Structure 1
Amino acid sequence: MSMNAPRGTQDILPGTSEKWQYVERQLADLCRRYNYKEIRTPIFEHTELFQRGVGDSTDIVQKEMYTFEDRGGRSVTLRPEGTASVVRSYVQNKVYGLPNQPTKYFYMGPMFRYERPQQGRQRQFVQFGIEALGSDDPAIDAEVLALALGSYEELGLKSLKLVLNSLGDKESREAHRDALVRHFDPHREELCADCQVRLDQNPLRVLDCKKDREHPAMSTAPSILDYLNDYSEDYFEEVKKYLDEMGIAYEIDPNLVRGLDYYNHTAFEIMSEAEGFGAITTLSGGGRYTGLVQEVGGPETSGIGFAMSIERLLMALEAEGIELPIDEGLDTYVVALGEEAEKAAVRLTYQLRQAGIQVDKDYLGKKMKAQFKAADRIGAKYVLVLGDQELENNVINVKTMATGDQQEVALDEIVDFMKKQLIGGE
């Protein structure tokens, strides 16, 4: 029986995994500079967390979650996104009571959604995201936007567009909600089945429908920007002023909404404008939320965050032809000839690794020529040749593969010698 990976999942093999590791290191370092600390949450949570936190009216909850009963009869769900889990942890561990606020987290890990697999969109995907909890200062909105855009720019991407909108506060949203219902209700029967439900549950999400995007009523739908009260309008203006101060370009899109129910005020997406990237241009998105912390049992707390797919980030790098600076070669390869030399090579390989040097050797009993070919194939910088004769003379032959130069080094000095060659050791 042939066993393949489940549909919508993938193996990330050596040669590709190094790209993932590089990207993850760069993102973690960027977060360090912004003073965001890593949080790691469980891969599965109680289903109610996502029903309450993400929203019953969302496609994620209604159609895409991997939900099952555990052996105790409890309903659990593989996490489809990161924010709800981060907020749950924030509440459960009473982080809101700590003196240093706001709390600034970043996370990175697999998420799961049951949807039709396509390029850059898998059923298991890796998401990087940040959350800033405990501040309703527009300046932190601008900080999150800067970090989000910087996540791509740090890796060399240039064909980017930041799209911005305000969803307003509760009062503004309710006024806009009523206007949307009045606008779309005469066309209810012309809308898809999902939008007919959304019109009652969360009419803002009708604007985000992929099926009805060409319906004439979409282009004439009332804009949230026309229903912002003074507070919401002032808040949005402050966010834009901070972006202007940092020299960050953006576009306003009054029809931009987010697919999760907990957003208000600032909402944004970052898109790729690279030629050949694909029909779905969104790289990441996020926004501000109020009420989510209360929804999972905590005090009234506002927050803002964003999330990105690592898969789509790598697609964008490929579309712009950006090669990541990854060294896939090997520092040192040990070639051993003879029974005693083989024993000494095992000891030497261990000593070199203990000294922080990347090293490998032959484990297939190959002859010397084949071992040199293996060292060349894996890009070894140096080959250390040890035979019984060298062992008797207490020396080892060091070959620099780039130049072909060779020299003998005392066997008891080889570790320090290689440290100096490779990592500047004394």
Structure 2
Amino acid sequence: MPRLSDSMEEGTIIKWLKASGDEVQRGEEIVEIETDKANMTYEADAAGTLEIIAEEGATLPIGDPIARIGDGSEPAPAKREAPKAAAAAAAAATDAPAAPAETATETVAAPAPSDDSGASNGDGNGRVKASPVARRLAQELGVDLAAVSGTGPGGRIVKSDVEDAAGTAKSAPAAAAAAAEPAPAAEAAPAAPAKPAKEIPGPVVSGDSGSGKGEVTIVELTRTQTVIARRMAESKATIPDYTVTTEVDMEAAVSLREQMKAAATENLRAPSFNDMVVKAAALALREFPKANGGYRDGKWELYSRVNVGVAVATDDALIVPTVFDADKKALGEISRDARALATRVRAGKITPPELSGATFTVSNLGMFGTTEFTAVIVPGQAGILSVGALRDVPVVRGGQVVPGKRMSITIAADHRILNGAEAAQFLARVRELLETPFSLAF
């Protein structure tokens, strides 16, 4: 399992792009892996014959073997070893025994019983890909796994798939009891007391909460969502943060952008207001080195490069690709880089280097009409800049109330490296640059 991001600890095999026995060339994409930040493809680091060890859906820690590339003379690794190894890794990661089927995680396939077979949802070795819990439930309910479509990782059949196929949402023990002692058709079964929903391995589980909340749907997090949740909790629990907010007069910036839009072509688009903020922040970071640093292990880390992370929302996560050396790039170049990064994030084609190395982050919710908010600091950075919506507001100019254009910006800062006065000075410099936007164009 390769390390595809600086914070990655384990990965899940989503899809093999090549099959065992295929000849691969160095640099050829062979597998898609889910990491803590995004789904990424991995390229072969050597040429030869591919032998797959870890099957689709297997979750393995960094460094565990997932495949072998050789000259084809070595004996192929046993297919049954991959799920066992993955199950052992998952059990070690959770400090739980891997042997009992009831506790095995559904993202890892256990070896199938020798009498199981099926063409659909197979793993290429004549076995149906299903979790141990799903197999046991299918046997109890009389469901043919070969006819079930799996919704788990890599098309694996999980418990909820079997329940859907059986046309029941009851738990396996209740279904087995009902099968053993069927009730007369003419008699209505007494209503069972509602039970709290229980988290069951699998992507989505539904049940009656019994607490007046109605049906509860429990959604398993992706690896990216799990890491984001852990890092955001770490940030709020360990960083003594505070916020400083200011209003920016955007009249000149709006005028400049209108001129840029008038001169834009199909291949040369006008920068957005967020691009202007990224450039202004980058120039201010160069002037305030502590803002372009971080607190770590009782020391300050001051970074020589100014790399601005730009938060991009996807359907199920917030991904932060990096605009490198933003202080040295022209506004148009920042605009092209940011647009290309956002496109690759949403297409799932972002690369590990593009998600690493940020020294500061800009988060913009202005497009949703949000006037002001406070983003969560990325651990290892001194602060994060939150950008609100551009608004038409009444302002006083020359003793007269006239229309004006204003935008709120807020810095959340780590007080261990950036004190209040320094954060206020940094924010004032960002505001000054945005209010004199011709300084950003070069």
Q: Same fold (TM over 0.5)?
A: no
Structure with greater proportional helix content? 1
